[in-house]
Chain A
């Protein structure tokens, strides 16, 4: 009997020595505003992103290390939550349940979510992707007030503008100022969105995500902004129209906010988008999916293509198109583009290159 009592006391004493789990006084989120420390592995990356868990919602996980990042659930590979166990960690290949998301949210900085917080440049892509899903049917966009403006650009597609959204002057991921579409295999396809704001005089917008680095100006004539003029004269303009693209659907090799997306000609042509896109190769590829008409129209609008040179200009464009059509790799595509630039320069003068490869801010 005495022996049993001693054994029992030893277990009890042992249990006191070896505490299981985390006690509140040693768990950061219970002691202050910070969220739990996490190590997040993003699909396709070889190292963890380590930082504070900011928020967890139905779209994904937001953490802050050097900067705020938001990762959609589809791109979350694994998650390790410091001081907490399997109930909170996400293993590779695990399908995360709503119950686990709710548990994780409770140990984040903002358990209530970020929807009422200002939009940041880091959250904008995910929020816009979610907000613009209804507009994957272009008819829904038309009903909501979007109208096409300007040309169908080889590296940008068509811009569809919502004037009411523009006049509101806010960045609303569910009602962006612009939607970007292109015809892919005969179907109008949503590629991304764009945000536009108006400023007057020298004023700068307040609390605008990505301002000013990600934004570029389009205040001039429609044909200037369509590339058909290069003599931008905005000095006298007091109303300024600023645009930032957000490539939410078609991933942009130059970054989600770059103006041109040179993956588009590959998608239009039904080819695989290379990991590194050479804009010259992509421009050449665009010639086989309508970009030849774009170049021709550009030269007509700038009065460079005239009745006297139309034949030789057209045959130069057609030759570049044929060469692009026969090209199987980016090197030969790039050469086809260079040959077009050289050929047109010889006929029309060196200024044509600035027209074909505009250096407009934000247009890569």
Chain B
């Protein structure tokens, strides 16, 4: 071994000791510690390219159309766009960058001739769109078309239509009971509004009149078939999954609403998202079925699922178009939604339904705005069974229920369809001229390939000429609206700037649980915003 010059034994010891200490230091320096990962800031999310045509509605009332799609970057939508001063004006100028903060809403639109539905646009739409724009920023949430009726105390919200039909393939028909009465000429007036940041495509609207014995009620059942219920009576017991006695809340229609217990919502997890209510009715008269009659609406859980889940990423325009236009993907979504959402009823001791479905009846979601009266018609465990126990199962906190009762006597009524006779549109300028929009009438008369397209802020009066305004002695007439369509949600500029998700959205318990947690943390804030802000109508 060669001797190191001028190194003596003590120096060697010191060097070795130093190296050992240094090695110890280095060892400590490189030790791996677990560190919690956080979501990357929105600004670092990559650019998303959308190949479908896009339409951006801007805060100043103008519209930019990107016919060949666009790139959604960190702060703006970029592409080859045409800017129109108003939605349907003829002249445009080129534009390539539209900052998120100038966008009220971004929507996809059909460039196809064959698959796009034929659309008829009301003559007043252009002016209304521009006029309503000033108020758009106040509208935080939206939800489908609404109808109002003057029942003597001013316009009252009567119904909301096809709440979750967010794509053409998901077009839906709803039947909603109304409290409206004909005027002295036998004409029923309803006001149709678009109070949301959405484009509505309404295929048909008609009025249904049902004459029935006074003292009975007409409501749609879980399949939107009409049923006359008689001898409505209170439930004998009602308990939710947490064990709460919810009968006092459900026994009268007084605005006191059932909502899932906080413990049930907190306990929800992947694989078990449910809450339920067990209802019992005893001493029933003979019969083979019963109707559980409910007055209810949805909570905003579905809305959170839509806004923060499905539409919560920068890929949302592409998801809405490419995914929901793909038949197999739309089927996947519909299968999951049917299996998960809505309300499923199971009757203790009754044979399994002939349809092969695991539940005896399923009620679809009805929307978060207007309460709907509905009957869930169910088989008894055995013919003439005197008591029945029903479990109503649903995703925790998906429902707000005002009232529940049971009817042992029911029948299928005959009904009269009253076609739409006029659509009165009042122009928003100073003249305020009202005119019958015959194109809108033609579009709404039949559920066919013709649609009425409405934009935020638009409203119109629907008139139905009822042939018989007066009910015979001992009878009453109930009116219901049957309407069909779908809507396209506007993807807000704010959602693009601060996306709620950075990975692709897929239907499943995970997505539902994420929505539930977000809903749980923001419930009061969202409810206040939702119910206090609407697009003002003109």
Contacts and interface: CB of A to CB of B under 8 A. Distances in A.
A217 to B, nearest CB: 9
Contact of A168 (B168, B204, B355): B355
B482 to A, nearest CB: 8
Contacts of B224: 145
Contacts of B335: 167, 198
B253 to A, nearest CB: 28
A223 B327 contact: no
A146 B329 CA distance: 20
Interface in A206-228: 218-223, 225-228
Nearest to A296: B113
A170 B114 CA distance: 29
B325 A239 contact: no
5 contacts: A147-B484, A152-B449, A198-B331, A218-B327, A223-B115
Nearest to B355: A168
Contacts of A300: 113
Contacts of B169: 149, 222
A268 interface: no
Interface of B: 112-115, 168-171, 173, 204, 223-224, 322, 325-329, 331-332, 334-335, 338, 355-357, 417, 447-449, 482, 484
A298 interface: yes
Contact of B331 (A152, A164, A225, A239): A239
A142 interface: yes
Contacts of B355: 168, 170
Contact of B114 (A218, A241, A294): A294
B112 A223 contact: yes
B48 to A, nearest CB: 19
Contacts of B447: 142, 147-148
A163 B327 contact: no
Nearest to B329: A239
Given A150-B115, A223-B112, A240-B328, A167 B334 contact: yes
Interface residues of A, number: 41
A222 B328 contact: no
B115 A222 contact: yes
Interface string A119-153: 00000000000000000000100110101111110
Given A167-B334, A167-B335, A168-B357, A241 B328 contact: yes
Contacts of B204: 142
A2 interface: no
Nearest to A293: B113
A275 to B, nearest CB: 32
A297 interface: yes
Contact of B338 (A148, A167, A239): A167
Contacts of B170: 163
Given A142-B484, A147-B447, A167-B335, A228 B114 contact: yes
B449 to A, nearest CB: 6
Contacts of A149: 168-169
A148 B203 CA distance: 11
Most B CB contacts (10 A, CB to CB) among A152, A241, A294 go to A241
B334 A163 contact: yes
Contact of B356 (A145, A170, A198): A170
Contacts of B171: 147
Contacts of B449: 148, 152, 158
B332 A226 contact: no
A301 interface: yes
B114 A227 contact: yes
Contacts of B113: 296-298, 300-301
B217 to A, nearest CB: 21
B326 A220 contact: yes
Given A296-B113, A297-B114, 16 more contacts: A142-B173, A142-B484, A147-B171, A147-B173, A148-B447, A149-B168, A151-B115, A163-B170, A166-B331, A220-B326, A228-B114, A238-B328, A241-B328, A294-B114, A298-B113, A300-B113
Contacts of A151: 114-115
A63 to B, nearest CB: 29
A221 B469 CA distance: 48
Contacts of A237: 328
Interface in A13-60: none
A298 B114 CA distance: 7
